[in-house]
Amino acid sequence: MKLNPHDEALINNLKDGSYGALMPIEPDQLPDREAYCAIVCGDGVRRKETTSHLRSITGCNCDHTIALPGGASLLAPESPLSDEATRKVLLEKGVAQARKLQGTKTVLVTAHLPCGAAYDAGITGVQLIDHIVSAKHQIRLFAAQHNISDITPVGLLDVEFSDGKKRTYVIKREGWEAWKQENATRQIAAE
Ligand SMILES: [Zn+2]
């Protein structure tokens, strides 16, 4: 599966760094280098690669990974891939159990492009980034409700470009909101 041209243009526009919406991942951005919980897409081709890639960029040897098709999108209530039962499994069996059993304070909330599960559900690149931001919010809410306030979600987007290059970006909510606002303004001005 190839990244669709519209999403490739979106990523290329975002990754120039002017909004700070999409930043290349740096290991020292992670709040806890010991272990992490990861929510990743269960994609048959990419899952193993994603898991080993996350281990190498984080330098962590302990990951509590939950892999289901769609990754972060499953945690975003507005996503067509998400439902309450799945969110409950991800939060309780994933985030909370990893914190309890392995002490993981960092939750890597990941999605990837191109993603078969996302494309099949009609999810665009813009929506998928929204879902990562929304999934982080769900984790913060859950953590606050369950008195596990030391949980830090980190939103990641794994991209495979049409030329085969692969990059992992940290999604920053403030930059993303700024980009969307600017983009909406431009669209209105063009109409
Ligand atoms: Zn996928």
Q: Residue 117 is encoded by which pair of tokens?
A: 């599960």
CA 167/CA 186 separation, integer angstroms: 28
Domain that includes residue 63, residue range: 5-22+32-190
Closest CA to 138 of 61, 82, 185, 81: 82
Per-residue model confidence as pLDDT tens digits over 28-64: 666 666 788 999 999 877 778 888 888 888 878 788 8
Give the Å distance between the CA of 186 and the centre of ligand 1: 31
Distance 67 CA to ligand 1 centre (A): 10
Q: What is the pLDDT of residues 118-155, one digit of tens each?
A: 999 999 999 999 999 999 999 999 999 999 989 999 99
Q: How far is the CA of 164 from the centre of ligand 1 (A)?
A: 16
Distance, in Å, from the CA atom of 177 to the CA atom of 9, rounded to the nearest integer, reads 18
When divided into structural domains, the chain yields a total of 1
Å from CA of 132 to ligand 1 middle:
13
- What is the C-alpha to C-alpha distance for residues 35 and 181, in angstroms, rounded to an integer? 35
Is 27 contained in some domain?
Answer: no
Predicted confidence (pLDDT) at residue 106 exceeds the cutoff of 70: yes
How far away, in angstroms, is 72 Cα from ligand 1 center? 10
Stated as kind and residue range, the H or E segment containing 108 is: strand 106-113
**pTM listed for this prediction:** 0.92
Residue 177 maps to which CATH number? Answer: 3.40.1050
